[in-house]
Structure 1
Amino acid sequence: MENTTDVNQKKLTKKEISKTFWIYQLGCELSNSYERLQSLIFCASMIPAIKKLYADNEDEQREALKRHLAFFNTEGTIGASIQGISLAMEEERANGADIGDSAITSIKTGLMGPLAGIGDSIVWAAIMPLIISIFIPIAKNGSIMGGLGPLVIYTVLTMYISWGLINKSYTLGRNSIMALLKDGKIKQVIYGANVLGMMMMGALSASYVNIASPMKFHVSGGATIVVQDILDQIMRGILPLTAVFLIYFYMVKKGPRYGIIIGTIVAVSIIGSFLGLL
């Protein structure tokens, strides 16, 4: 009897998991809709698994497609964990487990926010600035690798992370991320990633934001007062630091309005140069 039960068990293979992974990863930032954001590509990515698990039940296929069309949005790299959990739950349901539509939808809804926060903190605030900072000097020297290098390394690294997460989450099932979120160590990882990201942004600002004043004053006796020398005595790099903090505080107050920020920088640079201030 045990052998018969094992034979009748519906099991996803690497083929279905791979298809799910690649469909979502290649389209998660391309298929967003204003109404449901990433739900369209998430649903499409689940189709290979749904066809395999519910091959003999078209009604279940339709219901599965409907529940995965519910609103969904998260960070693409770390969000692969939700795919793995969804695959595991669909597999359990197909094998007779008492898992309703709301259970699968609730797990996805409950995890997409926390995992988006983790992904943004680690991937976008730490990994991306670190990779870019490595290749900026190469780009300044005119090498094409300064542009291609970050793209290749970032893609390979994030794909590797996502592939590991979807497989691990599928293996461990719905309890995998729950245990991770309850573990205090994840907060330490996020904090460390934020610190690293801020360090990299500080290093980039100090290295590549160059502002100096050419102003000079001639005083009696033939002496010349150079404004930049006085500023350097107060604190080296005070003008770049001031500019960075002004932009930072503007973004905190008004949000990332990049068009306004860039336009203001260009206008201040032109006016400052014309007046001899910068």
Structure 2
Amino acid sequence: MDNQITEKDVKNSWLYYYIVCEMGISYERLQALGFTVAMIPILEKLYPNKEDLKQALKRHLVFYNTEAVYGAPINGIVIAMEEQKAKGADIEDDAITGIKTGLMGPMAGIGDSIDWATLKPIIFGLAVTLSTNGSIIGALFMLLLPLIQIVVGRKLAAYGYRAGQASIREILNSGHIKTLILGASTLGLFMMGALSSTYVKLSTPITFSFGDANRPFVLQDVINSIIPGLLPLIAVFGIYWWLLKKNQNFTMIMILIVTISIGGSFIGLF
């Protein structure tokens, strides 16, 4: 089997991802399923051995979320890394996962600012103007946004693949692969910490009164004065401890979170 990856393969893989990335989304993995499905044709080329293919698919089923168009270089870089790994390069799974996790936040910020905060309002505003004047072009004008996104995304994915090939080859030749893994993992931890502080919301309404003349003692204010976000941090570390020490039964974890949340709310703890 010819396992040579071409830029056409990279562009087609990204286009597939662009179409399916918002399908099958969940809070546990977000776009991971769409990313993995789009990678299947690439991985099948690189890993003819079924066991190797299975391991490659599993390492891409972890949490992933970014802006699809300006996150396209990540797709290209990951494909370049998988290609080098398939050829026997000493690239660990953590390095690939770390690159994805570390870059998804910055790329999402760029993409959201350009695509959804700038380009979309301009194009849709012009489309509305044309439509209100009775022109059918207004409806067709809205298709300009996905067309621009597809052109830009395909080019960025190919650019990421070329840049990934060059940089990975240089890193491998210099023997700095451990530095890459450490840097990618560290950046990934920072991003996951930022995501946790953004998405995990937890506070307590508990107050104590010490006489009518005194101000009530608000527990949440005291916690915020010591360490803001302490309760969400405890929740995140509690879930991490469970995953590390107990098991990775995500259904059980979700049931526990819902049960504790409802129970805590019922008794006035949260």
The normalised TM-score by structure 2 is 0.58
Kindly name which structure, 1 or 2, has the bigger radius of gyration based on alpha carbons.
1
Shift of 1:27: 0.9
* Matched ranges for 1:162-241 at <5 A: 162-173=153-164, 175=167
Cα distance in 2 between the residues matched to 1:10 and 1:146: 45
Which amino acid in structure 2 is aligned with residue 27 of structure 1? V
Which amino acid in structure 2 is aligned with residue 65 of structure 1? L
Deviates more, 1:83-92 or 1:165-174: 165-174
Cα distance in 1 between the residues matched to 2:88 and 2:23: 35
Which amino acid in structure 1 is aligned with residue 36 of structure 2? C
Residues 100 and 9 of structure 1: CA distance in aligned 2, closer, same or farther (over 3 Å): farther
SS state at 2:42 partner:
helix
Using CA pairs under 8 Å that are at least 6 residues apart, name the structure with larger relative contact order, 1 or 2.
2
Cα distance in 2 between the residues matched to 1:59 and 1:132: 47
Q: Does 1:159 align with 2:147?
A: no
Cα distance in 2 between the residues matched to 1:128 and 1:35: 28
Which amino acid in structure 2 is aligned with residue 74 of structure 1? T
The aligned counterpart of 1:37 is 30
The aligned counterpart of 2:4 is 11
- Which consecutive unaligned segments of at least 5 residues does structure 1 have? 1-7, 177-278
2:71·2:107 contact (CA, 8 Å) conserved in 1?
yes
Task: Give RMSD over aligned pairs.
Answer: 2.0
Deviations 1:221-258 (A, max 9, x none): xxxxxxxxxxxxxxxxxxxxxxxxxxxxxxxxxxxxxx
Shift of 1:10: 4.5
Query: Of 111, 120, 125, which residue of structure 2 is paired with 1:119?
Result: 111
Cα distance in 2 between the residues matched to 1:53 and 1:173: 16
1:89·1:173 contact (CA, 8 Å) conserved in 2?
yes
Shift of 1:80: 1.2
The normalised TM-score by structure 1 is 0.57
Query: Of 23, 32, 57, which residue of structure 1 is paired with 2:16?
Result: 23
Shift of 1:58: 1.8
Q: Which portions of structure 1, spanning 4 or more consecutive aligned residues, are displaced by more than 6 angstroms? A: none
Q: Does 1:142 align with 2:120?
A: no
Deviations 1:183-206 (A, max 9, x none): xxxxxxxxxxxxxxxxxxxxxxxx
Cα distance in 2 between the residues matched to 1:19 and 1:160: 12
Identity %: 46
The aligned counterpart of 1:49 is 42
Give the paired residue count. Answer: 167
Cα distance in 2 between the residues matched to 1:9 and 1:107: 27
Cα distance in 1 between the residues matched to 2:158 and 2:128: 34
2:11·2:157 contact (CA, 8 Å) conserved in 1?
no
Deviates more, 1:103-112 or 1:138-147: 138-147
- Which consecutive unaligned segments of at least 5 residues does structure 2 have? 169-270
Query: Of 82, 86, 95, which residue of structure 2 is paired with 1:90?
Result: 82
Cα distance in 2 between the residues matched to 1:34 and 1:166: 26
Cα distance in 2 between the residues matched to 1:15 and 1:125: 30
1:37·1:72 contact (CA, 8 Å) conserved in 2?
yes
Cα distance in 1 between the residues matched to 2:156 and 2:12: 15
Which amino acid in structure 1 is aligned with residue 68 of structure 2? G
Residues 144 and 38 of structure 1: CA distance in aligned 2, closer, same or farther (over 3 Å): same
